[in-house]
Structure 1
Amino acid sequence: MTRVLTILGSGETSPTMVTPHQRLFARLGPDTRAVLLDSPYGFQENADELTEKAQQYFRESVGREVGVVSFRSAPPADPLAHAQEMARLRAADWVFAGPGSPSYALRTWAGSAVPEALHDRLAEGGAVTFASAAALTLGLVTIPVYEVYKVGESPYWLEGLDVLGRATGLRAAVVPHWNNAEGGTHDTRFCWQGERRLRMLEDQLPDDAFVLGVDEHTGLVVDLDSGACEVVGRGTAVVRVHGDEWVVPAGETVSVEQIAEHGRSAGAATPEPVAPVPEPQLFFPDQAIDDALAAGDVRTPLALVLDTLDDPDVPPEGLRWARSRLARAVAALGDPVDVTETVRPLVELLLELRAQARAEKRWAESDAVRDGLAAAGIEVRDTPDGAEWEVRR
């Protein structure tokens, strides 16, 4: 089982991060269900463009197709469509989110299935990769960046998702863009907060919490099974407690315990390792579920999962397993049918009969086949290499 949480300071779709992304996908395997969650930038007018650019990056630079789980505003306009999107999120093996507004993302996700879906992914196996604005939400608390830096509100924390804490036991505020220098003549380090504001924020942290910073074009890759934390990219990861910093440069690997130790002067307790949720052996094997869904058979896995949910003797980890697999089946129900592949055997058989009729100069029969296909919405074109066809949309 692979369980990985990746925190990217920025540069999530840059050349710097191609290799880290590829390494993670290689660990997850060729059949990884990968999705991009578009909530952090859902309010932006160019949201569609941002999604397309991210998908293009992963397709062309990383070599992986990434689908989209769209959840741009709450409450959702179409509850049924939203339920299908959340089912696709729960069924995913790799979940990515990136730039935008952390406060907007948190408001959108509040009361939704997103927080538990992220937790379940890291508990059961899979990967969560959050960058920039999305990375800010991973901690115990979250900086409302725009409200403080752009609007001028006094520095304060929002309640975070605490995905990092639930996965590792670390009680930290995650701060990407740690070494930001866009301000030029004024201090915009620490995600545009600067030293003065960061000190004010540190004073508001719980006594047992610390700040975990990640530089731009840098990632902290946390292996939840081994506890290894590798710094990748160009910069550093930083554990900061009231101005005191422990810096880990790119290329080095430390442990969750070492991070906790350096954050312990803040009064942080030793993190308890979070064990993966075992997959009960009495349930339907995952590969069999995948094979059934790939064959278009949704009834079989649905029946088995519903039987599991209805069993009063199933332990909690079994119920978690069943809910996750139910989401996978529901997501399959929402997938569009590939009409071309569905009708291909019948069309090709008819075209063979038409070719025989043409060879024997039975033109009326040949034309009847062509006209019948046209009436069914299938266009046939005769070329020097034979007949070509397509379904008209």
Structure 2
Amino acid sequence: MTKLLVIMGSGETTPTMIKPHRQVLAALPDDARAVLLDTPYGFQLNADEISARAAGYFAQSVGRTVDVVSWRRAPAPGLDRERALAALRGASWIFAGPGSPTYALRQWRDTELPALLVQTDVLVFASAAALTLGSHTIPVYEIYKAGADPRWEPGLNLFEQLTGVPAVVIPHYDNAEGGHHDTRFCYLGEPRLAQLERELPADTVIIGIDEHTALVCDLDARTATVLGNGTLTLRRQGRSTVYPTGTVLALPTAERKGTFFAEEMKEGHLPNTGDVLGRGGVPHARGAAGTDGGAGTVGGGERGADIVGGSGGVAVAATLREAADEAEARFSAALAERDVDGCVAAVLELEQAITDWGADTLTSDSGEHAHGLLRGMIVRLGALAGRADPTPLLTPLVEALIGLREQAREQRDWAAADRVRDALGAASIALRDTPDGPVWLHTP
């Protein structure tokens, strides 16, 4: 049975989620098999490219080899189907991410696959795949892109099966791509979510996970930890409670079945009951044998609030656009100070950010924006180089010529001394003799 259920609101292959991925995978033995399930985006013509980019992200940024298991359409009975099922049975870590939740459900429902998903040690579902975990699923493309009337589709209900909590999972909860129109709640907006919420059973909890944020459910320790850049929102019957990153909440136990978040939402504050850990704790990821240990602790004893993403302890920009804007701001500040090294560092920083975010599957104009800023920075850097003070480069040559002039003057070779002075003047070097010796100035 699954021991860790990890749900990501977005950013599953971006720098923001590198550290959470590393922490979770570190809980598994080195020889544990990790697989990527390609179903949610299997209908896309660039599915091979998405798989390759994701596998490259895990290999290069996370440090783990991930095999791709192809289930783009439910395979017909036969060798291909059995190979895919065998690969999933042998996996300790299964990941699925972007695409269409309804497409994935059509390929998974009424097959052996849902039963296999809940048998892996670690199940990581993000974005579109995350939507399939609840009792009900939002048909995102159909509503937001094709104009279908708001409705629910039946989900896999794996979240309740694993945690005991009747729930609907909504990633991209804080989405703001719409600008002047509401695209929160995975592109539904408040009016549509309120309409759909009224159709849910009264005890169903909406679990809203912000972008670049993860909810890590330790099914042995019965805890749920919020990690990442955003927050967790629990909503039921129109009322919401928001939990910041680092919060650790209790999952129901046999003695406390079905009370997940109920009292906390009623009171409208952070939980403080005896079996709720509050902020700062970190859940355990059990190994295959179900034992705890140093290697089986997500975060290695760090505070949950510190597990924010990236490969180190430094906070990572939530989007490529944000990273690009930050680099451009640093470039502009360096440019104002005529700090060439600072400008170059900002250019290299932006180029690295573009590389780091190359595996992001979220469709946006961030890449175009970042490349535009990068080209502009290079042009401005070139202009700065044209205006840069050449004094440091000229000094050795000018001082050598002045030395020759002084030797000519000492030898009373006035013609040679004048030739050196005239040559310096032609190069815009103004020379003035003083009681302390000659001084010069570049006069472009």
TM category (shorter chain) comes to 0.5 to 0.7
Report deviation, 1:2. Answer: 7.7
Which residue does the alignment assign to 1:149? Answer: 144
Report deviation, 1:146. Answer: 0.7
Which residue does the alignment assign to 1:133? Answer: 128
Tell me the secondary structure at the aligned position of residue 36 of structure 1: strand
Tell me the secondary structure at the aligned position of residue 84 of structure 1: helix
CA distance in 1, matches of 2:2, 2:47: 31
After the TM superposition, which parts of structure 1 deviate over 3 Å for at least 4 consecutive aligned residues? 257-260, 262-265
State the Cα deviation string for residues 253-298 of structure 1 (Å, max 9, x = none): 1112474325876xxxxxxxxxx9x98xxxxxxxxxxxxxxxxxxx
Which residue does the alignment assign to 2:36? Answer: 36
Which residue does the alignment assign to 2:190? Answer: 195
Which residue does the alignment assign to 1:97? Answer: 96
Which residue does the alignment assign to 2:117? Answer: 118
CA distance in 2, matches of 1:221, 1:188: 25
CA contact (8 A) 1:2 1:225 kept: no
Superposition RMSD in Å? 1.9
Q: How many residues align?
A: 263
Which residue does the alignment assign to 2:5? Answer: 5
CA distance in 1, matches of 2:265, 2:212: 27
Which residue does the alignment assign to 2:276? Answer: none
Which residue does the alignment assign to 1:360? Answer: none
CA distance in 2, matches of 1:130, 1:43: 18
Pairwise mapping of residues 187-226 of structure 1 onto structure 2 (< 5 A)?
187-226=182-221
Pairwise mapping of residues 302-313 of structure 1 onto structure 2 (< 5 A)?
none
Cα distance, 1:133–1:101 mapped onto 2, change above 3 Å: same
Structure of greater Rg = 2
Could you tell me which of 241, 244, 268 is aligned with 2:239?
Answer: 244
Tell me the secondary structure at the aligned position of residue 231 of structure 1: strand
CA distance in 1, matches of 2:2, 2:193: 35
Cα distance, 1:259–1:236 mapped onto 2, change above 3 Å: farther
Question: Which amino acid is the alignment partner of residue 261 of structure 1?
Answer: A
Tell me the secondary structure at the aligned position of residue 138 of structure 1: coil
Cα distance, 1:262–1:44 mapped onto 2, change above 3 Å: farther
Aligned-pair identity (%): 51
Pairwise mapping of residues 7-22 of structure 1 onto structure 2 (< 5 A)?
7-22=7-22
Which has the higher mean CA deviation after the structures are superposed, 140-149 or 187-196? 140-149
Cα distance, 1:263–1:198 mapped onto 2, change above 3 Å: farther
Question: Which amino acid is the alignment partner of residue 217 of structure 1?
Answer: H
Report deviation, 1:18. Answer: 0.8
Which residue does the alignment assign to 1:229? Answer: 224
Which residue does the alignment assign to 1:67? Answer: 67
Question: Which amino acid is the alignment partner of residue 173 of structure 1?
Answer: V
CA distance in 2, matches of 1:179, 1:165: 23
Report deviation, 1:148. Answer: 1.0
Q: Please tell me whether residue 261 in structure 1 is matched to residue 262 in structure 2.
A: yes
Which residue does the alignment assign to 1:80? Answer: 79
Tell me the secondary structure at the aligned position of residue 247 of structure 1: strand
CA contact (8 A) 2:240 2:265 kept: no
CA distance in 2, matches of 1:101, 1:70: 16
CA distance in 1, matches of 2:165, 2:89: 24
Question: Which amino acid is the alignment partner of residue 28 of structure 1?
Answer: L
Report deviation, 1:243. Answer: 2.1
Q: Please tell me whether residue 46 in structure 1 is matched to residue 46 in structure 2.
A: yes
Tell me the secondary structure at the aligned position of residue 261 of structure 2: helix
Q: Please tell me whether residue 27 in structure 1 is matched to residue 31 in structure 2.
A: no
Question: Which amino acid is the alignment partner of residue 137 of structure 2?
Answer: T
**TM-score, normalised with respect to structure 2:** 0.57
Report deviation, 1:139. Answer: 0.8
Cα distance, 1:262–1:153 mapped onto 2, change above 3 Å: farther
CA contact (8 A) 2:202 2:237 kept: no
CA distance in 2, matches of 1:204, 1:8: 25
Question: Which amino acid is the alignment partner of residue 104 of structure 2?
Answer: A
Tell me the secondary structure at the aligned position of residue 118 of structure 2: helix
Question: Which amino acid is the alignment partner of residue 18 of structure 2?
Answer: V
Tell me the secondary structure at the aligned position of residue 45 of structure 2: coil
CA distance in 1, matches of 2:36, 2:155: 20
Report deviation, 1:110. Answer: 1.4
Which has the higher mean CA deviation after the structures are superposed, 240-249 or 131-140? 240-249
Unmatched runs of 5 consecutive residues or more in structure 2? 253-258, 267-285, 290-444
CA contact (8 A) 1:239 1:262 kept: no
CA distance in 2, matches of 1:247, 1:256: 16
Question: Which amino acid is the alignment partner of residue 43 of structure 1?
Answer: F
Which residue does the alignment assign to 1:300? Answer: none
Q: Please tell me whether residue 58 in structure 1 is matched to residue 53 in structure 2.
A: no
Cα distance, 1:199–1:28 mapped onto 2, change above 3 Å: same
Tell me the secondary structure at the aligned position of residue 5 of structure 1: strand
Which has the higher mean CA deviation after the structures are superposed, 207-216 or 254-263? 254-263
CA distance in 1, matches of 2:73, 2:264: 36
Report deviation, 1:120. Answer: 2.0
**TM-score, normalised with respect to structure 1:** 0.64
CA distance in 2, matches of 1:168, 1:104: 25
CA distance in 2, matches of 1:263, 1:80: 50
CA distance in 2, matches of 1:248, 1:5: 18
CA contact (8 A) 1:179 1:190 kept: yes
CA contact (8 A) 1:209 1:263 kept: no
